[in-house]
A and B are shown apart, each in its own frame.
Chain A
């Protein structure tokens, strides 16, 4: 197990910066997920930790040891690659044993450890096969086996599930989570998939343009995003952003849209927002925080608004209804039979306790559910 500390890390490819100054402190046994859109520098960061890329600036410490100039083989980390990186000319046993043999482990130890890793992943019956005789999921298991067999102090995963189909991906995701619970090692996991990030992580590190946008526990990021980018990246379907103005209305404050529609803010948010009255803001609301209004269903903090649904997308368990709010297409996640056909008029309830309010210029969140 290991503690990983990264300070001021920078890495460019030629003139193109990939990582522009990252500080990260990962404690022992923590499962950290680096997530972000492609090109955000997450894979480069991971490869620099592994030693496959050289850092231009900054430091990487594993267990207090500065490893910037340590060769990959001497860092004692294990890495799982997106395309499995299995050696096609070796059978599964030899693939898993590769790292042990490279480190000249004694023969019977190799056998024991490979056997144990194979049991852990349920692939003992495949040991004699060649990689090309395996399915995608089996290959990924072998790749994971190769990483865990060596008892490295740090585990790195570079988008390990992106090549699998959806069902298999869910299955392997649970297995990786269970694996972490079982062996308790420090793991750093790169993905562009926010569901993987949310479900696996003890801590999410959300990256954008080579910098960390925000880091924290999954629900913390989900409920209290610091920027518009974070708010929009996590959650599916994504959060709706609608330009609006904060206006005083009666004794309270309301969100008034360009088309004249208004949503009242709860009293609890009045204090923190009273200084912002008259300001243009971005109103952020997640589709699942909008529901159909039913008789007597309104709870405190909910604001009611009548809209016309112009697009209906049933997914099975839920139905997405799209409507115009302030001239912007807005998605609500409704119950299956709440709306059947486009053109229907509905009264919707917005959960104003859970909306975020964003400064449209700085794109920083000025008010979220925690404030």
Chain B
């Protein structure tokens, strides 16, 4: 074997070793991060004895759905529907209104340079600072524990984010595309639907997912603004923590139900999410 061949072989070896270490570290981290989720899913399928057995049972002897059945029988599962409905409607509203505002900011320079910054600054208000004044307002309006109350709240809270993100995406659309459409016979609305929406589709989906997840994850607004009628699922889960004992089976099953829609949404929109986020990153 010549010296050159030998050198090449050693280089290849070193590269393989490096790659192996990288994969090992990555696998380890993945297991570490995924373990709680795995444990959550497993608990939701276990019998009460298995949950508390020592040493722990790594996977249930037989998959059983009793823990889920209980949630549906007692009507607890409806809180997932509440979350889905409130988050879904508020996302659609925020996306619709926010995109219109963003278009106006991007194309007609509405409010000059400062309005857009002011709008995003609204997003920086910590929810805890405004939740109690808002609660008083909601009591006065009679909106506490109503669907529309929560929907309005999430819409309002998400609007700045949607406007800010969509403004960036829309500014990236070459204005000639719009002008060409205007000359070709489109109205401003048609331009929006036929040119802007297809051009910013990726950003639209990415922003919608984040908007949805914010409303879906929210705990503090839902806790303060709801009682028994439109309890959302994060609030419902806390009901299972008792002074004497915690209902681990219910907590796990409920969490699985609650996580499922987000898993599904992200799985379907992954392509747009990754591209949308990286687009935003480049844009700043």
- A residues whose Cβ falls under 8 Å from a Cβ of B: 47, 50-52, 71-73, 75, 77-79, 81-83, 85, 87-89, 98-99, 102-103, 146, 150, 156
Residues of A within 8 A of B238 (CB): none
Q: State A71–B199 Cα separation when bound (angstroms).
A: 24
Q: A87-B195, A87-B198, A89-B199 are in contact. Are A98 and B184 (CB under 8 A)?
A: yes
Residues of B within 8 A of A156 (CB): 183
Q: Are B187 and A81 neighbours in the complex by a CB distance under 8 Å?
A: no
Residues of B within 8 A of A50 (CB): 179, 183
Q: Are B186 and A85 neighbours in the complex by a CB distance under 8 Å?
A: no
List CB contacts (< 8 Å) of B172-187 with chain A: 174, 176-177, 179-187
Residues of A within 8 A of B183 (CB): 50-52, 72-73, 75, 77-79, 156
Q: Are A83 and B185 neighbours in the complex by a CB distance under 8 Å?
A: no
Q: Are B176 and A83 neighbours in the complex by a CB distance under 8 Å?
A: yes
Residues of B within 8 A of A51 (CB): 182-183
Q: State A343–B187 Cα separation when bound (angstroms).
A: 66
Q: Are B190 and A102 neighbours in the complex by a CB distance under 8 Å?
A: yes
List CB contacts (< 8 Å) of B191-210 with chain A: 194-195, 198-199
Q: Are B181 and A102 neighbours in the complex by a CB distance under 8 Å?
A: yes
Interface residues on B, range: 10 to 19
The 5 A-B pairs at the shortest CB distance, nearest first, are namely A99-B184, A102-B185, A85-B180, A85-B176, A73-B185
Which of B180, B183, B186, B195 has the largest count of A CB atoms less than 10 A from its CB?
B183
Q: State A199–B179 Cα separation when bound (angstroms).
A: 28
- B residues whose Cβ falls under 8 Å from a Cβ of A: 174, 176-177, 179-187, 190, 194-195, 198-199
Residue of A nearest to B179 (CB): A52
Residue of A nearest to B182 (CB): A72
Residue of B nearest to A76 (CB): B185
Which of B184, B190, B199 has the largest count of A CB atoms less than 10 A from its CB?
B184
Query: What are 13 A-B pairs at a CB distance below 8 A?
Result: A52-B182, A52-B183, A73-B182, A75-B183, A78-B183, A87-B177, A87-B195, A98-B181, A98-B194, A102-B181, A146-B184, A150-B184, A156-B183
Residue of A nearest to B187 (CB): A73
Residues of A within 8 A of B181 (CB): 98, 102
Residues of A within 8 A of B194 (CB): 98, 102
Which of B182, B190, B195, B199 has the largest count of A CB atoms less than 10 A from its CB?
B182
Residues of A within 8 A of B186 (CB): 73, 102
Residues of B within 8 A of A88 (CB): 199
Residue of B nearest to A143 (CB): B180
Residues of A within 8 A of B174 (CB): 83, 85
Residues of A within 8 A of B176 (CB): 81-83, 85
> Beyond A72-B179, A72-B182, A85-B179: 10 further Cβ-contacts under 8 Å?
A50-B183, A72-B183, A78-B183, A79-B179, A79-B183, A81-B179, A98-B194, A102-B184, A102-B185, A102-B186
Q: How far is the CB of B143 from chain A (nearest CB, A)?
A: 41
Contact of B184 among A47, A73, A83 (CB under 8 A): A73
Q: State A153–B180 Cα separation when bound (angstroms).
A: 16
Q: How far is the CB of A255 from chain B (nearest CB, A)?
A: 49
Residues of A within 8 A of B199 (CB): 87-89
Q: How far is the CB of A13 from chain B (nearest CB, A)?
A: 12
Q: How far is the CB of A89 from chain B (nearest CB, A)?
A: 5
Residues of B within 8 A of A102 (CB): 181, 184-186, 190, 194
Q: How far is the CB of B190 from chain A (nearest CB, A)?
A: 6
Residues of B within 8 A of A146 (CB): 180, 184
Q: State A176–B195 Cα separation when bound (angstroms).
A: 27
Residue of B nearest to A152 (CB): B183
Residues of A within 8 A of B182 (CB): 51-52, 71-73
Q: How far is the CB of A115 from chain B (nearest CB, A)?
A: 18
Contact of A85 among B177, B190, B198 (CB under 8 A): B177
Q: Are B195 and A103 neighbours in the complex by a CB distance under 8 Å?
A: no
Which of A50, A75, A77, A81 has the largest count of B CB atoms less than 10 A from its CB?
A81
Q: How far is the CB of B182 from chain A (nearest CB, A)?
A: 4
Residues of B within 8 A of A78 (CB): 183-184
